[in-house]
Amino acid sequence: MTALPTFQRPLDGVTVVSLEHAIAAPFCTRQLADMGARVIKVERPGVGDFARGYDARVNGLSSHFVWTNRSKESLTLDVKNDEARTILDNLLGQADVLVQNLAPGAATRLGLSFDTLHAEFPGLIVCDISGYGEDGPYHDKKAYDLLIQSEGGFLSTTGTPGSQGMAKAGCSVADIAAGMYAFSNILSALLLRGRTGVGSHIDVSMLESLVEWMGYPMYYAFDGAEPPPRAGASHSTIYPYGPFPTGDDKTVMLGLQNEREWQAFCEKVLQQPELAGDTRFSTNARRSEHRDELRALIVRVFSGMTAEEVLARLDEAQIANAHVNDMHGVWAHPQLKARQRWTLIDSPAGEIPALLPPGQSSTYAPRMQPVPALGEHSEMILAELEYGRDDIQRLKDNRVI
């Protein structure tokens, strides 16, 4: 584990208020916190972000919640209560950014639309994250990650051949895409506000975020052309590119990109240089067309070797390759360890390891602070807003916080 030296961070002094749940908005705001922003997470009293209850895999805490909520302050607030709205307005008056991914229409019903807020807080940046965006025929439709994977065509490209072979991504890819675009748009809005002094409205759609990532298969199917077929863990249009079993019951991943690599693969890996001139395999298109025959040849050679022996030959031939790791293999990955990419953070369940954010800067260390307990910072935040002890106790008694 390692701790980097702390310098001034890019978002030091920026305050973010977030009405968030699940993954898309929390992933966005956690990255803002990584860069130094103060993130005040508004949660329902007694319940909180429902992602807190997804599982209990991290010493009793939810794996999703631990991943997306470090370095935040938790304020419990019943936003439907009139007195809670006063508290929220006081917070927004001091904030730079509001992020929300409530159910469709909920923010508007709460008086938190950009138009309403902009009139009172002209410098506030408002980022709304939803499944389909604020208008269009789907604007009020509920959306979860798997549903967006389906609507966005992602499921048509994943899994094994045939209509029943679809498989979803093993992580929340649509939520992550939306969170990333929310994050980058907020950074852009902060830069723009620095020039104009005026806040922006950002409308992030999970569907649009994921469809942007589907650019290759969409253009491959341009103008009615046949879409790329499902190919399991192999590449749908490049071959050999994918997993292959070895003689010690393990699997290696490899990928070829050009004819020079194909020749080296035949000579140094398969040790059958004559295959390079075989007309069935003379171009990528032909190799892909005859992939079953070529796979049988490769598997036959690899069956007499261990995974490490295959990887050694691939390295010698300068063919791209990889181990097929499970999560335990990733936790123990030698490259992450060598680059000191792990640190420890605190949580309500004690210290837990956390991956430092991708993108190592020479000028600042990311903020890596605790995962908050539900309502842990409510009293502190209210005290900053000049609420006295008696007022705070009354708010508790009335279940406002």
- Give catalytic residue positions: 235
CA angle 147–152–158, rounded 5-degree value:
85
Q: Please report the beta strands in 160-255, taking only residues with DSSP state E, as ranges in sequence order.
A: 201-205, 241-245, 251-255
Give the separation between CA 248 and CA 305, rounded to whole angstroms. 7
Q: Which position has the token pair 């229409």?
A: 105
* Contact between 53 and 384 (Cβ < 8 Å): no
**Cβ atoms < 10 Å from Cβ of 344:** 14
126 in helix, strand or coil? Answer: strand
Residue bearing tokens 């490899």: 254
Q: What is the DSSP letter of 204?
A: E
Cβ contact 288:282 at 8 Å:
no
67 vs 61: CA distance, rounded Å = 10
CB–CB of 215/140 below 8 Å?
Answer: no
Question: Which amino acid, one-letter code, is at 344?
Answer: L
Residue of 96, 110, 94 whose CA lies nearest to 199: 96
Instruction: Give the angle 94-100-104 at the CA atoms, nearest 5°.
Output: 140
